[in-house]
Chain A
Amino acid sequence: MGEVLKSALEWFGELGIFCSRLVKAALTPPYEWRELIRQCDAIGARALPLVALAGAATGVVLSLETRDSLVRFGAKSFLPAIIVFSMIKESGPVITGLVVSGRAGAGIGAELGSMKVTEQLDAMEASAVDPYKYLAATRVLACTLMVPLLTIAATFCGILMGWVANTLSDPISLRLFLERGFKNVLFSDYIPPILKTSVFGVIIGLVACFQGMRTRGGTEGVGRTATSSVVLSSLFVILADVLLVRIILIIWPVS
């Protein structure tokens, strides 16, 4: 037990040192714009189909599951609002966070891990290029920027497919569905979840880069890094969600 606690504290300590070095590297010019754009494409654009599909599936399931329950209570007309609120506030952000944790977390962890064990990170440093700036900062920033955008896409697909699933059993026009769904949605309902997903992006990028850049032990080590990147980033996304929901409710209380 003592050993586990000690290694956990060491891990957090090293992560802290990693973060301070990363922030310093990221804020010092010149900036790596080209690599940032490349990473935005890899982490954002290329994850779009999977995130959209996950969002759409969530919308369909939400519609099918909730509909039955609401019919029992005679509250079927609330279905659009439930789907919209759920997708905007919780399902969209969390599903996106977990999908990106799996895809980008494993990808970044394995890529940097492989570069570490084959001395490519050392070669970069030897060429007077800071891997914290070129590799880590660009990936963390790309995750921070792309996860909110992917969340918007997942939410959109979830609401749209929620309507499709609903319409198949109980036809309703898209316009009426959206009118009912967004009737009580305020602009302030969008902002906190979007900000929340930026934090998810920071967590995913940080954990994956940190794990990748401290990889040891050849190809086996790279495998372990990919797994631990996904597990730890998913875990911290879920924990951050709980914490951030509480903070959001304190800052923006439900009226």
Chain B
Amino acid sequence: MEEKDQQSPIQVQDLHKSFDNQTVLNGIALEVRQGETVAVMGRSGTGKSVLLKLLIGLQAPDSGSVRIRGQEIGGIEVNELSEVRKKIGFLFQQAALYDSLTIEENVIFPMSRHIRKSQNEQKERARELLASLGMEKDLDKLPSQISGGMQKRVGLARALALDPEILLFDEPTAGLDPITAAEIGNLIVDLKKQRHMTAVVVTHDIRGARAFADRVVLLHEGKILAEGRFAELRNSKDPFVSEFLRNAT
């Protein structure tokens, strides 16, 4: 038991993934420790989002290993994978809210399937979560009737609905104005403080990442080119790393 607790929640070894003969990930090894927030950065198309989807089993690797809380997720049964996924919250790039459900129903949806609570309790929990993310109003609106920033908040509330131990964020601030992007960044910092959660954040937002990330991983041509704290990366002598950090938003 003690050994399990000490295990890193996310362990990735020698991960390979290709699409139509194009190699996207080429031998990625990554370990995310308990309570750590890792920002994954890199140019568009370097497989950052693919890496996130591999971590939650939405895509299968060509080879390599992904372990969540010590459990290998490659090749396991659907119901076993579901148990693993209950421990993980995922915020999608475009929030991916169910467009036929209201905001409140979107947050209730995972709870209604996995948590044995009355409908009223689920509703109360959903409202509590939404309120904690600054969404007290417009709960009966459909996702298409609210702004992109609000959609991200609702997506985050849905990702938190099952009280996950791990959070995965796919470009949480992409497409948002600087103020809303900063608000979302602050929410991630708050979550980190309040819940001490393990998180992997794919982002291009270097200012946001500096605020919430304990460690930065820089992907380039399917491999991890550099990793470490911001200060360490800033002093890197690698021309790509220094150019990337200089030009990143």
Contact = CB atoms under 8 A, between A and B. Distances in A.
Nearest to A114: B99
A123 B109 CA distance: 11
B109 A127 contact: yes
Contacts of B113: 127-129
A119 B96 contact: yes
A118 B158 contact: no
Contacts of B92: 119, 122-123, 126
Interface residues of A, number: 17
B117 to A, nearest CB: 15
B127 interface: no
A120 B151 CA distance: 13
A128 B114 CA distance: 8
A16 to B, nearest CB: 18
Contact of A122 (B58, B78, B162): B58
Contacts of B58: 122, 125-126
Interface in A11-39: 24-25, 28
A130 B79 CA distance: 9
B82 A130 contact: yes
Contacts, number: 57
Nearest to B88: A126
A120 B109 contact: no
Given A126-B90, A127-B109, A129-B110, A120 B96 contact: yes
B96 A130 contact: no
For A24, A114, A125, the residue with the greatest tally of chain B CB atoms inside 10 Å of its CB is: A125
Interface in A122-138: 122-130
B85 to A, nearest CB: 4
A127 B162 contact: yes
Interface string B197-238: 000000000000000000000000000000000000000000
Contacts of A118: 94, 96, 99
A10 to B, nearest CB: 14
19 contacts: A24-B78, A25-B78, A115-B98, A115-B99, A118-B96, A118-B99, A119-B92, A119-B94, A120-B99, A122-B92, A123-B92, A123-B98, A123-B158, A125-B57, A127-B162, A128-B85, A128-B162, A129-B109, A130-B78
Interface of B: 53, 56-58, 78-79, 82-83, 85-86, 88, 90, 92-94, 96-99, 109-110, 113-114, 158, 161-162
Interface of A: 24-25, 28, 114-115, 118-120, 122-130
Closest 5 pairs (CB-CB, A-B)? A123-B96, A119-B96, A127-B110, A128-B82, A126-B90
